[in-house]
Structure 1
């Protein structure tokens, strides 16, 4: 018959030794924790945890001061508490800025990159000065010393006209070659087409379309301008093209008959 062997009891010396080991391990963990806390405290107070450099990409119509102020980021701010996404949203609210990117690079650097709206047109202000118009409809002064770009001139538009903003957005998506060929864009509303516009090109075309149709007609317009002789183009419900030579043909024939 098997007998149960009783557990060995530790004597007093062994008990004291085990207790001292537990206290030693506990003390070691306390020391490590204090060291970690001290290291974190010293790190947060050092320049390694602060923003020491802010780099802003060049922009034409928005100053570095405006971008920096909108971002809310300052030198010596905590590197870890800066919210890059929030800063991007704030910078994106500036009128000329289409998109902003804020990137943090440890240690201490913040890079801010902005993309401004595309230049799409020109217009004259009330004092006769030339302004550049961006694709969001914003008018900005022409940079000092710059040459007038080949862009359409907006004439006859009211600044608060929603159609003006729409035409600028459409021009922003236009191919550079076609945009450079446009010389003038004016509103030409009718009862049937309240947003009708008239466009003149440097290649001697006269184009009638609407603001709402322009974006969808760009490919066709580009093909006509590049491959046909100058004439009148109507891009509405039906698309028509008539060269000026055909318009003048009957008149020429009539003159010839009269002379005979």
Structure 2
């Protein structure tokens, strides 16, 4: 007895319209890849100009070397975070803002540690001291509008703390200071003497200076020149009350 074998189902090919859509999608994907490749090979994807602003104590060339990029390098790589990290490794720089303006402009806005003092060398040369204690050559043409540190040794452990304290002073008060000398005693190992351009002589301690700023500012702005003591007890004595003996 013979059995009828069922006929095999024919595999149906995708409709022409579906195959056409798949082909179009493939062509679009290939075109997109081609455009991306061409874009990254074009001048539009390269750095055309590097703008550096805000730097005074660190040179433009040094900043660009730290960034590790030059005109002609990729505009997109390294990323902003990596460039910022590289620039902030430079000691005079406190922070950096990196901005990429398409096409081709890389902006580097630098914020350096502020200058708080000036140091004179034995040959009369001047160096700038920043708030982080870093000592750098004074930029050419810059006038010394910050206090001169005299009598300090380069390895004095109190020097860095003094620089941090000076950075907390109001700008007008810092610019009024003309000279700062170490004046340690047994009771006050961090005692200093400050001399102002407005003719005040101030005795205080580095670790007390931050808490005494308001008192010092009030006297300098509102009293006649004299001597100020700002230690555990504060005193003010105008020069006009001093008794002159012959």
Same fold (TM over 0.5): yes
**Alignment partner, residue 114 of structure 1:** 110
1:159 aligns with 2:154: yes
1:229 to 224, 233, 241: 224
1:47 aligns with 2:78: no
CA distance in 2, matches of 1:221, 1:62: 33
**Alignment partner, residue 37 of structure 1:** 33
**Alignment partner, residue 192 of structure 2:** 197
Q: Give the superposition deviation at 1:61.
A: 1.8
CA distance in 2, matches of 1:215, 1:68: 37
SS at match of 1:133: strand
CA distance in 2, matches of 1:146, 1:51: 33
**Alignment partner, residue 144 of structure 1:** 140
Residues 110-136 of structure 1 show CA distances to partners (whole Å, capped at 9, x for unaligned) of 111112222222221133312222222
**Alignment partner, residue 128 of structure 1:** 124
Alignment of 1:1-260 (within 5 A): 19-57=15-53, 59-149=55-145, 151-248=146-243
**Alignment partner, residue 9 of structure 1:** none
SS at match of 1:237: coil
Residues matched between the structures, number: 238
Q: Which has the larger radius of gyration?
A: 1
In proportion to residue count, which structure has more helix? 1
SS at match of 2:158: helix
Q: Give the superposition deviation at 1:58.
A: 5.5
Q: Give the superposition deviation at 1:34.
A: 1.1
Tell me the TM-score normalized by structure 1: 0.82
**Alignment partner, residue 6 of structure 1:** none
CA distance in 2, matches of 1:27, 1:235: 85
CA distance in 1, matches of 2:54, 2:228: 41
Tell me the TM-score normalized by structure 2: 0.86
Stretches of structure 2 that go unaligned for 5 or more consecutive residues are 1-9
